[in-house]
Amino acid sequence: MERTLVIIKPDGVQRGLIGPIITRLERRGLKIITMKMIQMDYDLAKRHYAIHEGKPFYEKLLEYITSAPVVVMVVEGKEAIEVVRRTMGATNPMEAAPGTIRADYSLEIGRNLVHGSDGAETAAFEIPLFFNEDEILSYSRDTDRWIFE
Ligand code: IDP
Ligand code: MG
């Protein structure tokens, strides 16, 4: 089982899309193992998006992600990192495949609703930025055997 960090960004919360976005993840069979609503401060945003420092969109990205509350969660499943990325769709909603969260609910790259870790190393770096290990729950679901072979 793999873990990945998912953030419903400020536009997702403001637009009332927490439910629909979580539904997309849940109905695929992914398991939410911790979740909370926070407003990211500038320092946390800088650490989370450190990899993008110096890029033209960096300052606007920090402004966007800190502008209002976000919902942050850890999602678990087989190949959860790739599954979440594919469920979200391409970074630019214009290029995202129909049926993905970004394609179905958004239009612009700077308002693309969701974040998902892009690899195992990234997930291992990002999850502890938001959660202590004791906040992450370990539980089984009776449906797991109907989701995982
Ligand atoms: P990702 O969220 O699909 O992993 P990244 O390349 O890691 O995409 O970029 C992080 C976030 O920065 C994007 O989700 C998007 O909100 C924002 N972003 C990326 N590229 C641009 C851009 O060219 N213009 C404006 N915002 C961008
Ligand atoms: Mg990324």
**Contact partners, residue 63, CB within 8 Å, separation at least 6:** none
Measured by CA distance, the residue closest to atom 9 of ligand 1 is 91
Note the ligand closest to the C-alpha atom of 63.
1
147 found inside a domain: no
117 found inside a domain: yes
Taking the CB of residue 71, how many other CB atoms lie within 10 A of it?
20
pLDDT in tens, 99-137: 999 999 999 999 999 999 999 999 999 999 999 999 999
148 found inside a domain: no
- Ligand 2 centre to CA of 49 (Å) is 8
- CATH assignment of the domain containing 67: 3.30.70.141
131 found inside a domain: yes
User: Does the beta carbon of 119 sit less than 6 angstroms from any atom of ligand 1?
Assistant: no
Measured by CA distance, the residue closest to atom 16 of ligand 1 is 110
Q: How many domains does the chain have?
A: 1
Chain centroid to Cα 62, Å, comes to: 16
Residues labelled catalytic: 115
**Contact partners, residue 24, CB within 8 Å, separation at least 6:** 87, 101
pLDDT in tens, 21-65: 999 999 999 999 999 999 999 999 999 999 999 999 999 999 999
The domain containing residue 46 runs over which residues?
2-135
